[in-house]
A and B are shown apart, each in its own frame.
Chain A
Amino acid sequence: MTRKSDNPIVSLVSRIISPFIMLFALYVIFHGHYSPGGGFQGGTMLAAAVLLIRLSAGNEIAQLQFKKDLGTILGSIGVLVYFGTGFLVMLLGGKFLDYKYLAKILPVSEVMARSWGILFVEIGVGIAVMGLLVAIYDDLLEGDPL
């Protein structure tokens, strides 16, 4: 798993498909309101796109695309985005996660402010899930002697 794959079909196809998987994952995150989807599902697909390159191209080359330490940091940043949205609402005077107070800083009505609040939260969850799944994979692979 840490060496580059010998099969040329696998290398080529995974390199072509991986950006499209990321694009579809972004679509799934952003359309969580209107169709099945949302933060966790999109985050898992983003992680799958990154892990596909790690599996097919070997560990050393994949580090150039997505460094090893970045997983934990992205995980923390993602959950902080979630927490930050709720905390911002608390600073503006409402209860935790009461998105209609976001209408005070964004130029939208109160009903749409709730929609924007959920969108920010879903983006935070997506980033966090991607970072953490890649971090779990990297940690489990640390002891591999190859």
Chain B
Amino acid sequence: MKTLDFMLGHYAYWFTLALLAIGLYGMMMKKNLVKKLIGMTIFQVSVIIFYIAGSSKWGGTVPVMDKAIDVADSTKYINPLPHTLMLTAIVVGVATTGVAFALVISIYKRYKTLDETVLLEGMKKDSDSDE
């Protein structure tokens, strides 16, 4: 019974682990470049969910000042610091996705394909013709 309690009590962290695994699988096993990007985004999202899950409390409320709760009592508000950290991480994810799509468009213009195996052959032909 204790293991079932442990598993159900930490369900947020199991979600994080599942998303991490899905993201890594997507990046490694898929051949299309855009699918690799999606895998990378899922990986970043799993880290964000980890932080948010770690900041919640039982019976806590939104960290906006409430008149009903005593000012010096901080156990009723959830921890806002990981939320602000994750705001930064989300912005970083958006910027990375922007740069990655610009790179994908540049690759498509030069090689006319987004499949990884065809791309590697094209690269090898390019470096052989440079000799």
Contact = CB atoms under 8 A, between A and B. Distances in A.
Interface in B8-31: none
B64 interface: yes
A40 B105 CA distance: 27
Interface in A105-146: 129, 133, 136, 139-140, 143
B118 interface: no
A36 B102 CA distance: 32
Interface residues of A, number: 11
Interface in B78-101: 87, 90-91, 94, 98, 101
B67 interface: no
A36 B84 CA distance: 11
Interface string A81-102: 0000000000000000000000
Interface of A: 34-36, 38, 40, 129, 133, 136, 139-140, 143
A52 to B, nearest CB: 18
B102 A139 contact: yes
A121 to B, nearest CB: 13
8 contacts: A34-B64, A36-B64, A38-B87, A40-B87, A40-B91, A140-B101, A140-B105, A143-B105
A35 B102 contact: no
B102 A140 contact: yes
Nearest to A41: B87
Contacts of B101: 140
Contacts of A139: 102
Given A40-B90, A140-B101, A140-B105, 15 more contacts: A34-B64, A35-B64, A36-B62, A36-B64, A38-B87, A40-B87, A40-B91, A129-B91, A133-B94, A136-B98, A136-B102, A139-B102, A140-B102, A143-B105, A143-B109
Contacts of B64: 34-36
A108 to B, nearest CB: 21
A124 B62 CA distance: 26
A34 B91 CA distance: 22
Contacts of A38: 87
Q: Which 4 A-B pairs have the closest CB atoms?
A: A136-B98, A140-B101, A143-B105, A40-B91
A133 B105 CA distance: 17
Contacts of B87: 38, 40
Contacts of A40: 87, 90-91
B101 to A, nearest CB: 6
